[in-house]
A and B are shown apart, each in its own frame.
Chain A
Amino acid sequence: MDLLENLKTDFNRHVSFREKRPGIVQVLAPLFHEDGDMIDIFLDLPQSPAEPIRISDHGLTLMRLSYGYDVDTPTKHRILARILAENRVSEEGGRFFVETTPERVYPALLQFAQTVAKVSNMQAFKREVVHSLFYETLGDFVQSTLAAYQPGEHYLPIADRDDLEVDWRFATEPRNIFLYGVRDSSKARLAALACREFQLRNVPFRSVIVHDDFENGLSKKDQARITNAADKQFTSLGDFQANAERYFAREVQAIN
Chain B
Amino acid sequence: MRVESKEQWHVAAYNQQEINGLIGCPKRISDPPKREMRQSGAFLRNDMKLVASDDTEGQFSVFMRKSGDFPENFSIGLIYHPADSRGEITLVRCNGQHGEYNGGPGDPSDPHWHYHVHQAQEVALDAGERAEKYAVKTDAYASFEEAVQYFLKTVNLDEKESRIHFPTKVQSILFE
Contacts and interface: CB of A to CB of B under 8 A. Distances in A.
Interface of A: 18, 20-21, 26, 28, 32, 34-38, 40, 58-60, 62-64, 66-68, 93-95, 128, 132, 136, 183-187
6 contacts: A18-B113, A34-B133, A35-B133, A38-B99, A59-B43, A60-B42
Which of A36, A58, A63, A136 has the most C-beta atoms of chain B within 10 angstroms of its own C-beta? A36
Most buried by A among B70, B88, B93, B132: B70
A66 B65 contact: yes
Main secondary structure of the interface of B (DSSP, over half): loop
Contacts of A132: 85, 87
A35 B99 CA distance: 13
A63 B90 contact: no
Contacts of A20: 70
B168 to A, nearest CB: 24
B118 A28 contact: no
Contacts of A35: 93, 118, 130, 132-133, 135
B99 A58 contact: no
Given A38-B100, A68-B63, A94-B42, A60 B73 contact: yes
A37 B101 contact: yes
A139 to B, nearest CB: 9
B68 A59 contact: yes
A40 B42 contact: no
B28 interface: no
A43 B43 CA distance: 19
B43 A38 contact: no
Interface in B62-99: 63, 65, 67-70, 73, 75, 77, 79, 83-85, 87-88, 90, 93, 95, 98-99
A66 B132 CA distance: 16
B172 interface: no
Contacts, number: 104
Contact of B67 (A37, A63, A136, A184): A63
B30 interface: no
B84 A186 contact: yes
A37 B99 contact: yes
Contacts of B88: 68, 128
A68 B131 CA distance: 14
Interface in B9-37: none
A58 B42 contact: yes
Nearest to A184: B85
B100 A34 contact: no
Contacts of A63: 41-43, 65, 67, 75
Nearest to B44: A63
B101 A36 contact: yes
A36 B99 contact: no
B169 interface: no
B167 interface: no
B102 interface: yes
B69 A28 contact: no
B83 A36 contact: no
Contacts of A38: 98-102, 111
Contacts of B83: 184-186
Contacts of A186: 83-85
